[in-house]
A and B are shown apart, each in its own frame.
Chain A
Amino acid sequence: MTVEQLAQCDGMCALACPAPEREICGVYIGDLLSWVMGRAEADNVWITIMSNVNIIAVAALADTACIILAEGVTLEPSVLETAMAKEINVLQSAKPIYETALLLHELC
């Protein structure tokens, strides 16, 4: 499944999608950025509730396919700009992390 296809699923909303064709493989969940940095794998979907600019850097380092902000968390316009500039996909889910993960389990 690609990030673009995921973004079109019910309950998902694309906040920034500069690399829509990226293939998704696996899921990582976490909010402690230094922890995620060393553990999320390339092409993972990363689910978090953190929204500062550092998440874009962590996603770039770990080379995740996309970030999903759970609980309807939004990004500041400046962070969205950074996401576009660094080609980091960011989706939003209105649901809590667990329900978002369940949805991904059904889809992938």
Chain B
Amino acid sequence: MKELSLNILDIAQNSIKAGAAHIDVLLDETAETLCLTIRDDGCGMTAEVVRSVTDPFYTTRTTRSVGMGIPLLKLAAEQTGGTFSIESVSEQDDPVRHGTCVQALFNKNHLDFTPLGDVVSTVCTLIQGAPSVDWHFCHTYGEHSAAVDTAEMRQVLGDVPLDSFEVLDWIRQSLLEEYAGFDTQ
């Protein structure tokens, strides 16, 4: 993928499909590194499935024999000399604390680092696509941060749906304003 934000979109879709009620999308950035964490409380996977998801020939879809979301994210991280990990607890193994956590660490200064791209659009697309999920997005870079928490927003908004145009537009503007403070974006 030409932009990491497209990888984020792809991986977060897995969390939605896993029936997650709460999904964290976290970006922790320094001058040298970018750490992406996508954590959900979805149905999780058994140890065997976790081992196979980095295999490009594994997929949960039945229409084809190849699932590329996780392998491509792993490749994108590793080709910058970074690391990739995935941990999961399945609902069968633990009916209370189940879910999946995908983490990818990138060396930003490596020539093969893929730019983050339009992450604001990605976040808005995810919220619009699954408005009932509690989304927590947070991008930190030194003292700067850009964040949105739809569980908090829902308490303030009451009956106004999260996927209404006005709310999504407000989220977009608010994230863009926060990003304007990132001087090295």
Point out residues on A near B: beta carbons under 8 Å. 32-35, 37, 52-54, 56-58, 60-61, 82, 86
Contacts and interface: CB of A to CB of B under 8 A. Distances in A.
A57 B75 contact: no
Interface in B114-161: none
B75 A61 contact: no
B17 interface: no
B72 interface: yes
12 contacts: A32-B1, A33-B72, A34-B1, A34-B6, A34-B68, A37-B68, A53-B56, A54-B56, A57-B68, A57-B71, A60-B66, A61-B64
B75 A52 contact: yes
A102 to B, nearest CB: 27
A86 B57 contact: yes
Nearest to A37: B68
Chain B interface, DSSP helix/strand/loop, else mixed: loop
A63 B21 CA distance: 37
A5 B27 CA distance: 50
A56 B56 CA distance: 9
B18 to A, nearest CB: 22
A31 to B, nearest CB: 10
Interface residues of B, number: 13
Contacts of A37: 68
Contacts of A54: 56, 68, 71-72, 75
Nearest to A55: B56
A48 to B, nearest CB: 13
B65 interface: yes
Interface string B45-78: 0000000000111000000111010011001000
B2 A32 contact: yes
A19 B68 CA distance: 24
Contacts of A35: 2
Given A33-B68, A56-B56, A57-B57, 10 more contacts: A34-B72, A53-B71, A54-B75, A57-B66, A57-B68, A57-B71, A58-B56, A58-B68, A61-B66, A82-B57
